Amino acid sequence: MQLTIALAQSGFPKKGDAIAQAERYAEKAAAAGAQLLVFPENFMLPGILDSEGVKEISEPLDGPFARAMADIALRHHLWIVYVIFEENPDGGQPFNTAVTVDAEGVQRGAYRKCHLYDAHGVLESDRSVAGDQLPQPVDTPFGPLGVAICYDLRFPEVARALAVAGCKLVLFPSAWNAGPRKVKHWTTLLRARAIENELFVAGICHAGKRYTGKTLVADPLGRIVASARGSSKGNAPQDLVICTIDTDAVESARDAMPVLDHRRPELYAN
């Protein structure tokens, strides 16, 4: 099955207006014939915020931000995946949540990031709470869709669980911090998740001073079939990557190398 995806390597919006920025990307994606548009992690933020700032900007999944994104999906007849800081009903720090909306503006999935990045002087756990479930496939007209977030990429169990559940495409909306060898890590991990699960993997990275960029799509053989510019030093430019994939390539790869069929899950329980 042919699927055209649009991956927004977006930055912090001018004057903090993420919705206006989303509208511009949606117009371009729709004009290019895309069926699916994906935004990076931290998409809703006006800039780098501390824990209190993130808590203040958080909203419920039926709040104004989510409704505005649903309107954009409906207006442009696009499936959209975006990441929101979801208000915590217990009053604590918010969840970092990936939301999937269909082309009619109906919310079809919400995944709370379950691996928080506490490394290299960054404490994500100071500003958000980890979810307690792995992502579940989202039913779409183009097959089950997997959505995980950024640091989840470093845990192969996440993509493997989605592959076993039937996904042929897994998305990683991310805000991959710049630093030594970070683009190499990013590209290697995305390609590895694609190769070991024999599916398509798309990494959608935030642009700007702090992040690597290098949004890309890897096919089931690990080949990079589309990408944006990026740098381990940061200052990644904004871009929109348009890529048409053929999900039938997943079955072709698995027929030739039936890795999933050769698993021994009874040995992996512990």
Instruction: Check if 59 is active-site.
Output: no
- Assess whether 233 carries a catalytic annotation: no
- Set 55, 113, 168, 182: catalytic member: 113
Q: Which residue has the tokens 């548009």?
A: 37
Task: Give 59's DSSP letter.
Answer: B
Region of 265 (left: φ > 0; alpha: ψ -120 to 50; beta: rest) is alpha
CA dihedral 39, 81, 214, 3 (to 10 degrees): -130
Match 């990429």 to its residue by tokens. Answer: 153
Q: Is 79 exposed, middle or buried (0-12, 13-18, 19+ CB in 10 A)?
A: buried
Distance, CA of 119 to CA of 176 (rounded, Å) = 12
Nearest CA-CA partner of 179 in 240, 117, 120: 120
41 included as an active-site residue: yes
Token pair, residue 88, equals: 């915590």
The Cβ of residue 106 has, within 10 Å, a number of other Cβ atoms equal to 11
- The end-to-end CA distance of the chain, in Å, is 37
> Which of the residues 114, 150, 167, 243 is marked catalytic?
150
- Going from the C-alpha of 263 to that of each of 97, 146, 164, 196, the distances in angstroms are 31, 20, 10, 11
Q: What angle do CA 12, 13, 16 make, to 5 degrees?
A: 105
φ, ψ (nearest 5 deg) of residue 266 = -65, -20
Catalytic residues: 41, 113, 150
